[in-house]
Amino acid sequence: MKFKKLGMVAALVVSAVALTACGTDNKAQFIKDNAELAKASTQKFNLKMDNLKVIASGDAKSYVPIINGYLSSVEFSGKSMTDGKNAQVTMDVSLAGQEIPLEVVTKDTDAYVKLETLKPVLDMYLQSSGAGVASMGLDMTKIKGKYLDLTAISEENAKETEAVSSLDVKDAKKALDKAYNSLDKTDFSKDGSAITMTLSGDQLAKFIKTYLSALPEKSKESFDDLLKDKDFDKELPKVIKALSITTDSKNKTSNVVVKFTGKEVEGYGLDGQISYKTTYSNGKVTVKIPAKGNLIKTTEELTGLISNSVQAN
């Protein structure tokens, strides 16, 4: 199993959990509640690295204190909105005492990042890219209104992302139906209006393998090496101790917690946990898709735009 695949797999499965519905027991009610909450026009979220630490051996061990110094300060907060067709995500990324804003607009499987919101990142890049560059800044008038076409950039640099991004919602639902069938009703518990699904690392490995195996052939391509890995069921529990997702339909909230084991796999490991809390609400939302003339579709075009926007302070 490739350790770098774990983050992508976990994100894919957790985001897909809210796509299936029907039933009355805790298991079926959990699925139904998630599907209903997923229809909300606005979702406010907050992701925290709860005492998350990287563990490493060998040459990578010397970098661990630096990485963990940054990890302790990482937090994502913001909201996503949808008008039923298009969606927009605005968030603040907290890192080492700095707030980095980000805005992404999506239409179908296409995603666009507003370049203006990347100014802090671009400024840091300029300041660290060579002698004398620290005295330079960006002329934002040349970048204003421009969006980076993530789909086009991904296709230019990593063809394998296409299979995942093109996954149809109906296909995801069918795959989840089969994955949920692999779980027992005892994996779901209820406390008032809140229902929690709790899976051990072993159960999560089975759930993920079942879900990915049920995807259309095109969507399986990005996970082909994982699906053929006979040790996946043994390796994932070494990294992830447990996953719990609590959904409260009455208070319109959900909380995802991933707990890590602190054990190494291929020289790396994670300890602590990640928590992702969401609050759902409904209201009128309008999402504006950027005009084609404002889209940056290649890395060459992006590099040229940034170079032409550099100015002396």
Q: What is the pLDDT of residues 159-213, one digit of tens each?
A: 544 445 556 677 888 888 899 888 999 999 999 999 999 999 999 999 999 998 8
By the 10 Å C-beta count (0-12 exposed, 13-18 middle, 19+ buried), 117 is classed as middle
Q: Strands 295-296 and 147-149, how do they pair?
A: parallel
Contact 231, 275 (CB under 8 A): no
Contact 120, 98 (CB under 8 A): yes
Considering the entire predicted model, what is its pTM? 0.79
H or E element that contains 134: none
Strands (E), 139-204: 147-149, 188-191, 194-200
Q: Which of 108-122, 174-188, 285-299 has the lowest mean pLDDT?
A: 108-122
Residue with tokens 């996970």: 223
Contact 91, 76 (CB under 8 A): yes
Mean pLDDT across the stretch 120-142? 62
Mean pLDDT across the stretch 3-19? 53
Q: Which of 58-72, 113-127, 212-226, 248-262 has the lowest mean pLDDT?
A: 113-127
- Look at residue 4 and tell me whether its pLDDT is greater than 80: no
Mean pLDDT across the stretch 22-46? 87
- As beta bridge partners, residue 190 has 195
